[in-house]
Amino acid sequence: MTESGRDYRRMTYIEGNTVRRMDAMPDNWEREQRQRRAREEQEQRERQRRRRQRAIARRNQDRALVMDRSYVVFLTIAAIVTCITAVFYIKLQSDVTIHLNNIAALEATVNNLKTDNDATDKRLATALQMDTVKDQAINELGMSYPSQDQIVYYQIDRSDFMSQYGEIPE
């Protein structure tokens, strides 16, 4: 009956499209049929369960897509607040940029004034050298330092300046 562990009764088939008679069926044929039906029923239940889950998921999606009035109001307020915040932020950035440009312009002006001031100081220092003035006054113009009897001291009461209304006596 078996050759190398195979059952020939299972391996035989009948040609044609009808069974003429029931050949020897395996002993566990009924058990296999019951198992096959149980598998088919299990698969059918699984398909129905998946179909129900898809229907539930579709209903939940439909509910999630429906927006009620309070949700729309909330989203509108959130969008308005976001827009106002963005506009405020952009304005602040613009103000900061303007102030930075003003500061840069003022710093450039200060640097130019410092440069001009330094140049003027150097020009004056080279043009009016005191030694040259002293030398010209003494040698060319005949000037001399005052002697002690030519110096006159005046008292000034609580004032840091003095007005001259007449000639100074000699």
pLDDT digits (tens, 9 = 90+) for 132-162: 878 888 898 888 888 888 888 877 666 666 6
pTM of the model: 0.37
Asked if 75 and 56 sit in the same domain, the reply is no
In the chain, how many domains are there? 2
Domain shared by 73 and 106, yes or no: yes
Q: CA gyration radius for the chain? A: 58
Q: Are residues 91 and 59 in the same domain?
A: no
Is residue 72 domain-shared with residue 61, that is, in the same domain?
no
How many degrees, rounded to 5, is the angle at CA 115 between CA 131 and CA 127?
20
Distance CA(68)–CA(70), nearest Å, equals 6
Q: Quote the CA–CA distance of 122 and 106 in Å, as a whole number.
A: 24
Residue at 57 is within a domain: yes
pLDDT tens-digit readout, 1-23:
445 555 555 555 556 666 555 55
Structural domain range at position 100? 68-127
Residue 158, in any domain of the structure: no
- Specify if 112 maps to a domain: yes
> Do 110 and 62 reside in the same domain of the chain?
no
Final residue of a structural domain among 16, 46, 66: 66
On whether residue 113 sits in a domain, the answer given is: yes
d(CA 139, CA 48): 127
Give residues with Cβ within 8 angstroms of 24, minimum separation 6: 9
- Residue 18 lies inside a defined structural domain of this protein: no
